Structure formats: C-alpha cells, structure tokens
C-alpha cells in the first residue's frame, strides 16, 4: 500500500496499549460515529477534522483486531478502504499481530466534471488552480469554470468545467432562376423558341455555431451572399404575322363565315382587315372561282362586318388568323 504511514512504539508503550485494547473490548465504551463523513463501515472509535495548511481533513480512528500482521490485512478485517493518497498511523506496529489503533487522515476528495465527464481525485493540494495544473487540465480562453483558480479546495468539492467550442458552417441553398420572354420579329406569331436554358444559382449562408460540452447552444448568421449567379431562362416569342396579300374584297351570297379564294387551301382561316377602317373579320376559305381583280370574295355577313354592303368593293389585307 502506498498510503503514507507512521507506525511503531516502545515496549512499555506497547504493554500499556495492549491493556487499553483489552479494556476497550471488555467494557465496550460508547463510540462516537459521524456517519456523514465515514466512507466505509468498520470498527470506529470516532471521526474528527484536522486543519492542515488551511484545509480541513477528515480524521478517522479505528481499532484493528489481533491476528492480522499488515496494515492491509488489518483494514481488510474491519472493511475500511485506504486510498494511496491518504495518510495513516498504526500503533502498535501491525507486525506484532496484537491489534492496532489506526488513525487515517483522508486526502481531500475533489471531483472535476469536465464536459459532463466526472473524475474524482484525492489530493493534499490546497487550491483549484494547483489541482488543475497537477492533473494537466487545461482551459481554453472560451471555456468556463465555476471556481476561480485561487479557490480553496474542500472535501467533496465539485469543480465544473464547461467546454465552449465554435465553428463556422457554410450552408448552400438554391436561388431560383428567372423566366424571361423576349419578342422576336423573325419568328411567326404564336411560335416559341428557347434561347437560353435557365439554371439555379447558389446562395451560401455562413453560420457561427457555438457548442457547450459538445451540444449546440446557438447558431448565428454571419454571412449571406450569392456565390453562384442564377442563369435566366429565356424564351423567344414570335411576333411575325404571315400575310396572304392585299387587294380588293367583294361580297356575294354564300355560307355565313365563308369566303372564296383562288389559291389558299380550303379550311384556311383568314383575318380580313379593312385598310381604311381597321375593322376585321375572320372567314374560312371554302370556295373558288373568283372572276376579275378581287383577291377575296366574302359572304354577305362577313363583308357587312367591316364595311357597308353598298360599298361593293373595299381594300383589304389578308392575314393568317392566330386564335
């Protein structure tokens, strides 16, 4: 056992002590026991405190029975644990085998809870700072400790260290591209064509995250920037109107909404625009046989929609109809 010890007595003192031990066992005087400070059960004479270098240390007094001849055997017999850091005296020396009066001065028991991990120490040091240094417990500038380095140690003191950590984390998120439509006079009206395919950009948000004992306690945005610009999606939309020519329009009694044209395919829908008034009507080509200089021969109702029937002939522009 590596606990510090003081043992030994002269022969006369041994005889006296043996008499005392026998008397103690015979008369069994009352024992003063302070259970709050006794760590393990044993044959206890009593406990007290002793101030050493300003620190109160627990002092325990035991009677070891005859027979065992080492301190380990004696303490084992009375079920008392001796820690390597504790100091003790045994009188008379256990090697006589006649029993001993044992005094144990307990080293200060201190717990350091570092990042929620408790570690117990027994020490004769006197201050928090000295204990941390002795056990190489280092603190970063951001870490917190609930005791100052100058604080005096005391029995069963718990020193709590909260480890503070920070890191920066970049989190990307998409930036939606814009959809843009551009007019194009080279494309026929109603026609669309892709000029450029859109692509999302990237916005990067940087956060400073703070941890206490490995658990996140805060998340603060410190930077917000577009790191990749989005690319617009561009669609061309035609505005070019297909025309079938200009000329005179006449009318005749024919199917409502119908018209005659000598070359346009049957079923072609034509927007007929009166040049003078700008009025228009839509007809479907379903007849042929125009005689003379007219470009189109409208049914009566269609002609009346853009000019008086009495006009007989009007100048028109024929365009492709776009619904």
Residues near 163 by beta carbon (within 8 Å), at least 6 away in sequence? 114, 115, 140, 143, 211, 212, 213, 214
Share of the chain above pLDDT 70, in %: 87
> CA 275, CA 313: separation in Å to the nearest integer?
12
| pLDDT for the residue 20 | 35
Instruction: Taking the CA atoms of 69, 2, 81 and 90 in sequence, report the sign of the dihedral they define.
Output: positive
CA 222: distance to chain centroid? Answer: 15
Q: Give the confidence band of 187 by pLDDT, cuts at 50, 70, 90.
A: very high
* Region 80-96 average pLDDT: 96
* Region 270-285 average pLDDT: 97
DSSP for residue 300: H
| pLDDT for the residue 5 | 61
Average pLDDT score, the chain: 89
Q: How far is CA 291 from CA 188, 227, 297, 314, in A?
A: 32, 71, 10, 16
């Amino acid at each position: 056992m590596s606990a510090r010890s003081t043992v030994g007595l002269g022969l006369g003192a041994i005889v006296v002590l043996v008499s005392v031990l026998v008397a103690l066992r015979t008369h069994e005087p009352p024992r003063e026991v302070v259970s709050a400070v006794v760590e393990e059960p044993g044959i206890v004479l009593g406990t007290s405190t002793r101030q050493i270098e300003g620190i109160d240390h627990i002092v325990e007094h035991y009677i070891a029975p005859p027979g065992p001849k080492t301190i380990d055997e004696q303490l084992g017999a009375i079920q008392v644990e001796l820690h390597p850091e504790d100091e003790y005296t045994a009188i008379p020396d256990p090697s006589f085998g006649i029993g001993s009066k044992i005094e144990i001065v307990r080293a200060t028991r201190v717990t350091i809870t570092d990042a929620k991990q408790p570690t117990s120490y027994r020490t004769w040091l006197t201050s928090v700072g000295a204990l941390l240094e002795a056990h190489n417990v280092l603190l970063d500038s951001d870490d917190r400790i609930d005791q100052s380095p100058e604080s005096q140690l005391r029995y069963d003191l718990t020193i709590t260290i909260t480890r503070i950590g920070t890191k920066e984390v970049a989190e990307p998120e998409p930036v939606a591209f814009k959809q843009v439509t551009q007019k194009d006079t080279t494309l026929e009206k109603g026609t669309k064509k892709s000029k450029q395919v859109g692509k999302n950009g990237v916005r990067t948000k940087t956060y400073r995250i703070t941890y206490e004992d490995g658990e996140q306690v805060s998340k603060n945005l410190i930077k917000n920037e577009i790191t990749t610009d989005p690319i617009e999606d561009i669609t061309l939309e035609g505005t070019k109107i297909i025309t079938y020519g200009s000329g005179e329009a006449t009318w005749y009694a024919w199917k409502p909404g119908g018209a005659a044209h000598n070359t346009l395919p049957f079923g072609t829908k034509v927007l007929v625009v009166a040049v003078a008034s700008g009025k228009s009507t839509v007809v479907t080509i379903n007849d042929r046989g125009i005689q003379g200089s007219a470009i189109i021969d409208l049914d009566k109702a269609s002609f009346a929609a853009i000019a008086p029937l009495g006009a007989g002939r009007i100048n028109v522009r024929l365009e492709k109809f776009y619904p």
